[in-house]
Structure 1
Amino acid sequence: MKLLRRHQSIRRLSYAALAVALLTAAIGIGPAAVDAAASVPPLGTHAKASALIDVESGRILYNKNGEQRLRIASLTKIMTAIVAIENADLSDKVKVSVRAAGKEGSSIYLRAGEEMKLEDMLYGLMLRSGNDAATAIAEHVGGSIEGFVRMMNEKAEWIGLDNTHFMNPSGLDDEGHYSSADDLAKLTAYALHNPTFATIVKTREKKAPNPNESWDYQWSNKNKMLNMYEGADGVKTGYTKLALRCLVSSATRNGQQLAAVTINDRDDWADHRSMLDWGFEHYKLTIVAKQGQPISGYPLAAGRTFRYPLANGEAEQLHSKLSLISSTSTPYALGERGMLQWELGGRTIGVVPVYDAASTRLQWKEKRPLPALDNAASARAGSYSFSATLHAVVRALFGGGA
């Protein structure tokens, strides 16, 4: 039963809700990312590899050795958490095996035979980096460690993480277990669009029932950025003797969320402050189009709000192109009239659907401004449909290609 779940990611969401969840994710990243604007001052870190991403748009604002495959220690648990959240019920009772209880490395001190709600165990995983929790979660959700690792690698491929491969759910050093700074940035942007994941990684203190003692488990988050950086709201620390210090952090200011990644960094706390400050200062999340905005010369309007981080002078370089669809097509019958595509520096950065200006679809309220489908997904679908070819969409949004 549990093994079947790996083919039902985000199964509790309807197709429409899933489409919205995916469309709130990143666009135009990876190989299609726009080069840093010439007006932006250079940024440096002490890390062997690093990356900075705008979470909503998915634009990688900065990287250094971004595609280099490296050991990533407990940053692995970002994937462990999101796979578990998407493929199991948070209310599930997870029974701790002897193998899980005896797992080496960082621990939340689970005992063999103990049962804990999956939701609580995820807090132990992400706040205290419990390798015992990672093992117990993997065995519960995947049926075995091997089964869960397969799910992790399938998810990495599904998202489009081409420089990532997992061998275990904890991040302990293992040959063939690696990722890159760019891939971790993309994975983090994907995961942060899940409200459960986002809530867990920004939590500073958590209590959970302890069946073995009269007192509760109490975990404080190892991520010092939560206390030392204004607006910090995630994500995960990591360390092994071979990977050395690794960190993914996120922060939100003025409605914009950024995530920073460093791998093998002797001064990561300072580097993350500098990276986030640099991103917030030089790449403002700008409304490119608002839902319901009229399209000049046509009785049409934009169907979604589209925001994108732009450096000084880049707004003047944006170009838009309207493509209409056949009146005999299925999308047309569903109300769509075409797509409005934006380019920056000759590269497509976003696409939104357009509707008749009087369409009731334009009256829907958005909980959060949505970015748009990357044009690559539309091209691969053969004919434009805003909700078609879900897997191609995710690959385009997070991986930059199929």
Structure 2
Amino acid sequence: MKKTIYLIIIVMIILSWNIAYGEDLNLSGESYVLIDAETGRVLYERNAHKKMPMASTTKIMTALVALENGKLDDKIAAKGECIGVEGSSIYLREGEVLSLKDMLYGLMLRSGNDSSVAIANYIGGSLEGFVSLMNKKAQSIGAINTNFANPHGLHDDSHYSTAYDLALITKEAFSYEEFGNIVKSKSYTADREENNYFYNKNKTLWEYNGGDGVKTGYTMRSGRCLVSSATRNGMHLIAVSLNASNWFNDNYKLLDYGFNNYNRQFVYDSNQFIKKIYVLNGNKEYLNLVTENSLFYPFKEGERENIKLSIDVPDTIEAPIEKGDKIGYIYTYLDGKLIHEGSLIAKSTIKRINKFESIINKFKFK
């Protein structure tokens, strides 16, 4: 009897290990993660916080920093430092002038190392200046296990990231509409006379249903690295695999897992009434508090019923109050774990009144 119990325990441990580390998906990657692009929820992972070289997936951050600090119609002149950079290239000529938009398409579709240097020098004033911007941005969005040494991803011992951090960086990059437009483009024609046709190296766009990005990467030291994204039924997922010999199939399996096991479901709507609080010295007795934004979240079957909401608002508030003022917070918990923090705002404007008007209103409100 004891042997049977021990055997059952061992089998359960093995099964739980397989589920936690992804062996049931039979993935080749040394590190990988799948997240929901809207909420950042981790849906699947293994070694997601392991620091590793990430090759040209670096360029996701290069594009993000460029979009944050430049304009698409900015003109960039290719200087000597851009010419003949090792690896993939859009074949810039010294003195050639391209728009930032053309440079970004060359960066993300053709993986142009020369365009990454041109962008870095223009946006950051120098490679060092741009790398500083990259690292500051990484820290600000919570990619704390990442350090950039260059804008292209050629090997450097101090240049590394993690699958999770790359997913966070990609999530942030998608907040720029033009980033999404670039990485979902299968091809692009730049405004130049030669080498103007850029063909996207990311097969996800052709091979995966709903595929809409984002970037491949490879060096001898990093192995094959891939960030993929796809959207189905309103749910946008990001899959990252590092040092994965079967990189595309790995990411397709990750994405399939997400779409097959999770559904994007409604939690609350924007401008939804939550609570009313008493107003001091106002032309109205009560203020209605509503949610600032709607919340949709990816749930496994049966999870939605385990959601709990908690609010943090004052019992009273003093006028004046402007419509849209942030008054409190609404916290969403799943199985006791905080998964989202939202704002509660004033539904209407309430003017301040004097003591005499306040006395009159007390009788009026009664």
| TM norm. shorter chain > 0.5 | yes
Local SS of the residue matching 1:53: strand
Residues 1:114 and 1:353: Cα distance change in structure 2 (over 3 Å): same
Shift of 1:334: 5.2
What's 2:30 paired with? 48
After TM superposition, the structure 1 = structure 2 runs for residues 353-372 of structure 1, keeping only pairs within 5 Å, are 353-355=343-345, 359=348
Unpaired runs of 5+ residues, structure 1, are 1-36, 361-402
Shift of 1:314: 1.1
TM-score (norm 2): 0.82
Residues 1:226 and 1:68: Cα distance change in structure 2 (over 3 Å): same
After TM superposition, the structure 1 = structure 2 runs for residues 148-163 of structure 1, keeping only pairs within 5 Å, are 148-163=130-145
Mapped contact 1:340–1:351 kept (Cα < 8 A): yes
Local SS of the residue matching 2:188: strand
| AA partner of residue 345 (structure 1) | D
Q: After superposing the two structures, state which structure 1 stretch, 67-76 or 346-355, moved more.
A: 346-355
What's 1:185 paired with? 167
What's 1:271 paired with? 250
Structure 1 residues 302-349: Cα deviation after superposition (integer angstroms, max 9, x where no partner): 332111111112111111112213514998885444222111122211
What's 1:15 paired with? none
Extract structure 1 runs of 4+ deviating beyond 6 A.
329-333
Identity %: 44
Q: After superposing the two structures, state which structure 1 stretch, 332-341 or 262-271, moved more.
A: 332-341
What's 1:145 paired with? 127
What's 2:107 paired with? 125
Rg: which structure is higher?
A: 2
- For the residues of structure 2 that align with 1:304 and 1:154, how far apart are their CA atoms? 28
What's 1:343 paired with? 333
Number of equivalences? 319
| AA partner of residue 249 (structure 2) | A
- For the residues of structure 1 that align with 2:342 and 2:57, how far apart are their CA atoms? 33
Local SS of the residue matching 2:236: strand
Mapped contact 2:229–2:236 kept (Cα < 8 A): yes
Structure 1 residues 190-222: Cα deviation after superposition (integer angstroms, max 9, x where no partner): 1111111111111111001224x4xx6001100
Residues 1:329 and 1:111: Cα distance change in structure 2 (over 3 Å): farther
Mapped contact 2:33–2:48 kept (Cα < 8 A): yes
- For the residues of structure 1 that align with 2:311 and 2:140, how far apart are their CA atoms? 30
What's 1:303 paired with? 292
Residues 1:257 and 1:96: Cα distance change in structure 2 (over 3 Å): same
Residues 1:343 and 1:44: Cα distance change in structure 2 (over 3 Å): farther
Q: Does 1:107 align with 2:86?
A: no
Work out which of the residue numbers 273, 283, 303 in structure 2 matches 1:314.
303
Shift of 1:75: 0.4
- For the residues of structure 1 that align with 2:206 and 2:331, how far apart are their CA atoms? 40
What's 1:293 paired with? 272
Kindly indicate which of the two structures has a greater share of residues assigned to strand. 2
Shift of 1:46: 0.8
| AA partner of residue 84 (structure 2) | G
RMSD: 2.4
TM-score (norm 1): 0.75
Residues 1:274 and 1:111: Cα distance change in structure 2 (over 3 Å): same
Mapped contact 1:331–1:337 kept (Cα < 8 A): no
Shift of 1:41: 11
- For the residues of structure 1 that align with 2:328 and 2:208, how far apart are their CA atoms? 43
